[in-house]
Structure 1
Amino acid sequence: RFFVLHSDDTSTPLSKLSPFLVAKTLQNTLGAKYEAKKLFSGDLLVEIYERYQATALLNLKMIHNLKVTASAHRTLNTIRGVISEDDLVTSTEEEIVEGLSTQGVVAAKRIKIRKDGEERPTKHVILTFEKNSLPPTVKAGYINCKVRPYVPNPLRCFRCQRYGHGSRACRGRETCARCSGTDHTADDCNLGYKCVNCNGDHPAYSRSCNHFKKEKEILALKVKENITYQEAKRRLSAFQRGSFAEAVSSRGPAPSKVSVATQVSFSDHGKPLQSSTPRLKLTLPGHSISAAKAAEAPSRTKDLGAAVAMEVTPSSRPP
């Protein structure tokens, strides 16, 4: 489970304390098995693995001389999925949660569409599970419902119009969503459309924006692979650039090729030299013969050793 450790003093975030001091306190409280990461806000994200650690962390009230509060992370401890059943169209969200609570469902939100100026309910319901992975199905009474991953729309800041954060954490300038100007809001704008994210002739909130589509792809990969947003963004960016490293990792190791003039990798060290020119095929003995033993070997072995010596000439060795 994930918890957020927050300083009660707004003027002194946890990030202002010595990381050694904080780590020592957490280790004394939780033991060695935990992970911690500094958040953008200055709070600390703590991942724990045992039930007793949750109790200990919630009871932690002080680090050095700074009062702190621990609380469960709002989203990382849950996962959302979608069910689509015609037989549940008339069921309320409260009824669905009550009926599926024994299967880990803690919230339900019916998807609605706007048609002819009014909202209409659909058969699609977003379920929130208090789990880290989605079940393949849930049992709604006698109906077996398939659960699909839910991919949310990208988060766009209403202040600077950029993606990836909300207005509360925004440090950018207030920007018009219509023309990308910074001296007025969209309510007072009469200028032409210009997207602040891609410079296209559409508003920042347009779903035809290429930046919106890219963010949607990142979120889809994040949900599908169950990875962080940053990792999904890195993978997608590498794939779109045609990254050689990503291509190699996805296709597996390439066959080793050795140049007769150059050692191309450390793995080539000690490998026999290869050349495109035809060579005499020799049937070598099964065991290697040392220089001392070769001198004592019969004449046939001497002839073989001479043939091998002629085969690997100084001119064919790498410089």
Structure 2
Amino acid sequence: MSVSPFAGWSPFKEFMVISSKGSAKVADRSPFKIHRELKSILGDETIEVTKLGSGDLIVELKSNDQAKKLGEIATFLDIPVTVSPHKSLTSSKGVTRSRDLRCCSEEEMVEELSDVTNVRRIKVRRGEDKIQTDTVALTFDSRKPPSKIRAGYLTLAVATARTGVRNLLLYVLDVARVIMSNVTLRLIPIVCRLKRRPCSQQQDLSKVPGRTSHSSL
């Protein structure tokens, strides 16, 4: 086992993939040798390993220290390898909606939003044209998307992205929750200002036509 310089390795990823650079496949080696090699690298006998049809190995890790150690290796059982986070097991998708994001490019949002690796603006087709909507699909660098994100001075709710016909209703409900949450976040400062108004500025409900006060009953 040789070691390559550790430069800017990403934060702890629970699932890492060991991929061979050449024709020799890591997964073709003895399972006993693979186990001993991982134990010598990670210092743990209880590591879960999954063999892929491609000959790569998925290793389930328990700490940032283990991720760093595994990320440093350049060879595994004398086979040149690369180690990288598993793309689907270490990422998640979510959806948010805001008119204020219309003027932002997808590149700007990827750069500015924390832990977001990809942004795709949702478009709808009307006739021959594709119309840009206020809804944005986000890919997060974590197994579970956050419930809300900070977009500059804005706080926006995030719905879990769902796929498949069965989840369509749940997706619609999630988007509705996002819209209501974002509206509520905008109304909170207004409600707070209204509560601070003097009583003389509030409407006397007894003078509203068609309303009878309790004292007259």
Structure-1-length-normalised TM-score? 0.44
User: 1:31 aligns to what?
Assistant: 43
Pairing 1:1-319 to 2, within 5 Å after superposition: 1=13, 2-10=15-23, 12-32=24-44, 34-101=47-114, 104-152=115-163, 213=165
Aligned partner of 2:60: which letter?
A: E
CA distance, structure 1, for counterparts of residue 92 and residue 156 of structure 2: 17
> Cα offset for 1:75?
2.6
Larger Rg: 1
> Cα offset for 1:150?
0.8
> Cα offset for 1:152?
4.0
Aligned partner of 2:73: which letter?
A: L
Identity of aligned residues (%): 34
User: 2:191 aligns to what?
Assistant: none
CA distance, structure 1, for counterparts of residue 148 and residue 84 of structure 2: 30
Structure-2-length-normalised TM-score? 0.63
CA distance, structure 1, for counterparts of residue 105 and residue 155 of structure 2: 18
CA distance, structure 2, for counterparts of residue 58 and residue 24 of structure 1: 17
CA distance, structure 1, for counterparts of residue 121 and residue 83 of structure 2: 32
CA distance, structure 2, for counterparts of residue 97 and residue 66 of structure 1: 36
CA distance, structure 1, for counterparts of residue 36 and residue 27 of structure 2: 14
> Cα offset for 1:140?
2.1
Q: 1:88 to 1:42 in 2, by over 3 A?
A: same
Q: What stretches of structure 1 of length at least 5 have no aligned partner?
A: 154-212, 225-319
CA distance, structure 2, for counterparts of residue 142 and residue 74 of structure 1: 30
Residue 40 of structure 1 aligns to a residue whose secondary structure is coil
CA distance, structure 2, for counterparts of residue 64 and residue 73 of structure 1: 21
Residues matched between the structures, number: 156
Q: Which has the higher contact order (CA 8 A, sep 6+)?
A: 2
Aligned partner of 2:111: which letter?
A: E
> Cα offset for 1:67?
2.5
